[in-house]
Chain A
Amino acid sequence: MVTPEHITTVVIGAGHAGLAASHFLSARAIDHVVLERGEVANSWRRERWDSLRLLTPNWQSRLPGHHYGGPDPDGYMTMGEVVEFIDHFATGMPVRTGTTVTSVRRTDDGYQVTTDAGEIRCRTVVIASGACNLPAVPALRQAIPDTVEQITPFDYRGPSSLPDGGVLVVGASATGVQLAAELARSGRPVTISTGEHVRLPRLYRGRDVLWWMDAAGVWDQRYDQVPDLTRARRLASPQLAGTPDRTTLDINALTDLGVELVGRSAAVRDGEMLFSGGLRAVISLADLKMERLLNTFDEWAAASGADVKPSERFEPTRVPKSTRLRLDLRGGEIRTVVWATGFRPDYSWLDVPVVDEKGHLNHDGGVVESPGLYALGLPVLRRRKSTFIHGIEDDAREVIDHLAVYVGAHAASE
């Protein structure tokens, strides 16, 4: 039998989160390895559609000791540019690509990590495998007639990958609004079904809305100060797109593109999709919440004397006088349903009982319930900005600080 390799820390995933962990582990001279099933920044390479750009402006794309230095600070990186940016950050880091973790188990003094390339024994594990490994699709997908094609964002590359004809996009978070806009521009009739969503303008008072999130301190709000952490961690991504013209992509923008608006998809019955009649409620909630956020920005701007343009307000979301409550999926009007209904992490390989009944990891600011097990890169892990690229630095530093203390105490007790 081959003796398993021994190492202090195994980091799972070589995306920006795992690499940031590696950065701080190296700074503390903790021996470690970063295991990656594919290549560095694999999800950005393989699991995104062609036109996608980062939601955050270039100047905000920063990793520990690594900044955007290009000519367009206000632009948004293409996927190729993101891959290049993360690849560059990974230079010199102990990354093993093409190594898939198949199991993580607790041992007496740490963890046993099994991969398709062998076994590793370690004291600590940092889970940085991402929050969006699988598309989350509601059960009503099973009732969709066979004549309608169903796809998730993982299958989508561009409009040409869909059959001609009408498209129903279910979900109006960042993914849903972006795909709806792109499909409408391709000439297809598009209907978008929306439940609760987060409306944001791309620019506010002359600045990127994500500049405001940063400057006004919204993004730095800590996980232990967020009033409803469960809700904050489940919040859908905002209606934003990173486009060269820096335009807003909210429901009004979709309406201008000819996209039809319907309520939340409630059920499929006899081949018909039924939509909630509560559309106006979710629309007015989103408008009110955006208004509240803009008020927060205004208050901060007044108090700080920030150099910004005058306050502005946006047109309320237009809702047609009557929207369709049902849509016949058998009539040929809709050829494709796009499930833009969110993503979920995949912990099927994690054989430690730290995943709740909804498939989420039990952790306190990235410190998982099982000693020596850590997580990075999950929504509101330690701050509201946790899942954004620039949000990883503070989280990774603090989580690795905790890990270092644990490893030190562990070593001293031996």
Chain B
Amino acid sequence: MTAIDSIDNGVNVQALLDAREALKGAPEAAQFTWRATTKWENGVHTSTTVKDFFGLGEERSHKAEHSFTADHPEVFAAEDNGITPIEYLLVGLASCLTAGVASVAQNRGIQLRSVEATVEGAHDIRGILGADSDVRNGYNGVKVSFNIDADASKEDIEALVAQSQKRSAVFDALTNPTDVTVEVV
């Protein structure tokens, strides 16, 4: 355990390992609900706020409310007040995988100096425009490139990235089907 104690990626791995043990016997406490509320502004411009969530058996809040503006670029004849919703998926994926790399590195005693993930989503917009019903609406493919500087071999770094995908919530949400219910209230 000396390696883990002597390196610091800023991830409290012990707390996570303790939580894993504690929740093994309390699956109900492990049930979290994440929430976001989106308000239409004008055109395809929306504002989304995220503050409250449910977890460990009770209602909780982030320290502060966070706001996210979404819009579309001018080539979509929009005002470009914010990034597009599908770009938020890239934000989620890259930040989740990067956080995973840090956590796994901490757990494996690997000191990170810098981590940069670049993510690209290939998108054929004929799908959303209804120009071709054989073209899907979402990404045709997503590519993430990690540039990692750390006290570790290339193999160990590749293993970090692999383990990060294995435990990533967003990677799973994007690569596996999820039951989505949309209702009007």
Contact = CB atoms under 8 A, between A and B. Distances in A.
B91 to A, nearest CB: 21
Nearest to B179: A277
A266 B177 CA distance: 8
Nearest to B178: A277
B133 A274 contact: no
Contact of B177 (A231, A277, A322): A277
B133 A234 contact: yes
Interface string B59-96: 00000000000000000000000000000000000000
Contacts of A277: 177-180
A2 B178 CA distance: 66
A325 B179 contact: yes
A370 interface: no
A281 B178 CA distance: 13
Nearest to A323: B179
A interface, how many residues as a size bin?
Answer: 10 to 19
B15 interface: no
Interface in B36-69: none
B145 interface: no
A344 interface: no
Contacts of A263: 177
A274 B134 contact: no
A275 B180 CA distance: 12
A275 B176 CA distance: 9
Nearest to B175: A269
Given A231-B133, A234-B133, A358-B134, A274 B180 contact: no
B180 A278 contact: yes
A280 B180 contact: yes
A276 B177 contact: yes
A9 B11 CA distance: 80
Contacts of B176: 274, 325-326
A234 B179 CA distance: 27
A168 interface: no
B182 interface: yes
Nearest to B131: A230
Contacts of B179: 277, 279-280, 322-323, 325
Interface string B148-185: 00000000000000000000000000001111111000
A323 B176 CA distance: 14
Interface of B: 133-134, 176-182
